[in-house]
Chains A and B, each alone.
Chain A
């Protein structure tokens, strides 16, 4: 099992450009999450999904959109990138019926917006 994978690993964008980050999991988990982490900070939840076709806002959702068309994939979109979105983005998934249950994280995507 690959666990949780993220594509791409690293990306440089210019202000105003758009991109999509892909998260995939092969553990048949119901719940998936997108976090961002800025230097010296803890993780902050952007959006999450409690099942295929569902999404919900987390702590810092502005400037991002998400989609969960397939159970194994969770996409994070930036429609018009801003320098404030320079960060490391982590995807996670969990099996359980509650959001507090154990999460499994991907390796991260490093995004630089110039």
Chain B
């Protein structure tokens, strides 16, 4: 996978937007950016993925910069239940290799 860099932790006030950054400066070709999250003691959960254009679904929005070297996951109205570890993953496009989960960003939503 292309190397990704995420801050180890972030705080966000409940009801506010949570903006989680991810740097992936070595991204190349048609490599996608995936986001997963893991709520304490549960299995990881897929959130969203994108290639070039911004993406939105019922859970979040994904903003990818024009040069594709970084992206931001946005939770528009964070709730306490969004407290989790968020993983940004850029799988290698060549060959058929599994995802690599790093340490992610621990988001704490505070009341």
Interface residues of A (CB under 8 A from B): 4, 33, 35, 40-45, 48, 50, 58-59, 88, 90, 92, 98-100, 102-108
User: Which B residues contact A (CB, under 8 angstroms)?
Assistant: 32, 34, 36, 41-46, 49, 87, 91-92, 96-104
Task: For A108, give the chain B residue with the smallest CB separation.
Answer: B43
Q: What is the bound-complex CA distance between A35 and B43, given in angstroms? A: 10
* Candidate in A92, A100, A103, A107 with the most chain B CB atoms within 10 angstroms: A100
Q: Which of B34, B45, B91, B99 counts the most A-chain CB atoms under 10 A from its CB?
A: B99
Which of B41, B49, B101 is A102 in contact with, Cβ under 8 Å?
B49
Chain A residue nearest to B91 (CB atoms) is: A100
Chain B contact residues: over half helix, strand or loop, or mixed?
loop
- With A42-B103, A108-B41 in contact, do A99 and B46 touch (Cβ < 8 Å)? no
Collect the chain A residues with CB atoms within 8 Å of residue B100's CB: 45, 59
Query: Which residue on A lies nearest to B104, using beta carbons?
Result: A42
Q: Which of B44, B87, B96 has a CB less than 8 Å from the CB of A99?
A: B96
| Sample of 16 more A-B contacts, CB < 8 Å, known A48-B98, A107-B43 | A40-B103, A41-B103, A42-B102, A42-B103, A42-B104, A45-B98, A45-B100, A50-B96, A88-B41, A90-B43, A90-B44, A100-B91, A104-B46, A107-B42, A108-B42, A108-B43
